Amino acid sequence: MQSTFLRTWWNQPHSYESVVSYLGLHGALAPYRLAASLSTFSYGLGAAALLFLTDSPPTSAIGRSIFVVAIVSTLVVGVAWLKAPWPSKRVSLMFAAYSDIGVTLVLLSYGSPQTVFVALAMLAANSVYVQLFHSPRVMALHLLWAGTAVTLFFVLILLSPDSDHGLAIAQLVVLVPITFMGPTFFQYLLLKLQVQAQAANFDPLTQVRNRRGLDEALPVYFLGATDVSVMVVDVDRFKSINDRFGHHQGDAALQLVARRLTTDGVLVARVGGEEFAVVTKSAETEALALAEKYRCAAHSADDSAPLTVSIGVAHCTYPISEDIGFDVVELTTLLLRRADAAMYEAKQQGGNQVVVAGSTPRSDWTPSGSET
């Protein structure tokens, strides 16, 4: 079980942009920005206290220089957290590395490893940032650095003839759970929460997103986009499939449609019983071509239950459209309503058709029968 968890943890997909977007949507970025800024300032104040207020401050020129650089840089970085835009993934990784390396170098430059040994617990505070915003692999690198730092200080203490080895062991006993066990357990809980959150965003039958999952994915998906195109795809005569072949075959038909809709670069969600939504960053002509591809792919002579779909398409430019502003969730909801109306128009025309909102139906053939 432990090996399974470790494999799952190590391979857990992670998106820095998704985390930032999620926290931003729920109003959590502002308080975390403040917390990061205050933590950075406190690191600088701690370095200043070691340099100016202790009885045995570092005396070497290199040691004092490292302290001065640390104090000044924490002021700059702390102000940046308050005033600058939220950092990109690359800058965020640089901040994590800066925090780990800075804490270790400052404490190492103090010149008395045993005096500052317990202060390595500050690396555990860095763990919280890495766990929240970066992947398990980045977390593993952070823990490797923390383990190396703790080992280095412990060895330096043991090699010093004036050190208290018993005290060093006691300090190590305190450091290990704070620096390693705590962050590892927190990472385990975070992984559990992520798995549960992902499960809540996906339809258990078809394994595509549900409406909640679609809304959660939209803000990150449309970063830098200039077009929004949505499709509403409805299975034609789905009730007759259930009545003729049984509900188990109806479920299989929905799973098959979901697989045929799932292509690279699009968001697919099941938004109703036999109704799916497809969201793309395509221009209208590209979206129409994709819809035609979906319509043709829905039917196969090898299917045990014959399948056709009716598709409605709606498009607009993004982010400036319909006075919606930059709320892509609201904009997509509006387009889904238009695409839904176009889909019903396609069904009224006999099904197995693609209709663009405000346009006329397009089809190669119309199946017989009045049920749509």
The gap from C-alpha 194 to its chain's centroid, in whole angstroms, comes to 9
User: Cα torsion for 209, 212, 215, 220, to the nearest 10°?
Assistant: -60
pLDDT of residue 9: 66
CB 18 within 8 A of CB 12: no
Q: Which residues of 202-221 are buried (b: 16+ CB within 10 A; e: fewer)?
A: bbeebebbbbebbbbbbbbb
From first to last of its 372 residues, the chain has per-residue pLDDT tens of 455 666 766 776 677 877 887 787 678 889 999 999 999 999 999 999 999 998 888 888 999 999 999 999 999 999 999 999 999 999 999 999 999 999 999 999 998 999 999 999 999 889 989 988 888 889 889 999 999 999 999 999 999 988 999 999 999 998 888 888 777 777 677 767 766 766 778 888 998 999 988 988 888 788 778 888 999 999 998 888 887 888 888 888 899 999 999 988 899 999 988 999 999 999 999 999 999 999 998 887 777 777 889 999 999 887 654 444 457 888 889 999 999 999 999 999 999 999 999 754 444 433 333 344
- Residue 321 tokens read as 């459209």
Query: 24-28: long-range contacts (C-beta < 8 A, 24 or more apart)?
Result: 24/86, 24/219, 25/219
Which helix or strand (DSSP H or E) is residue 358 part of? Answer: none
- Give strand pairing partners of 356: 313
Q: Look up the pTM and report it.
A: 0.63
At residue 325, the pLDDT reads 44
Helix (H) / strand (E) containing 279: strand 275-280
Asked if residues 347 and 309 have their Cβ atoms less than 8 Å apart, the reply is: no
List 21's β-bridge partners, or say none.
none
pLDDT of residue 319: 64
Rounded to whole angstroms, how far apart are CA atoms 121 and 178? 6
30/128 Cα distance (integer angstroms)? 16
Burial environment of residue 262 by CB neighbours within 10 A (0 to 12, 13 to 18, 19 or more): middle
pLDDT for residue 371 = 43
CA distance 92 to 167: 36
Query: Which tokens sit at 250?
Result: 């109806």
Give the DSSP letter of residue 202: B
Cβ(209)–Cβ(203) below 8 Å: yes
The pLDDT value recorded for residue 329 is 84
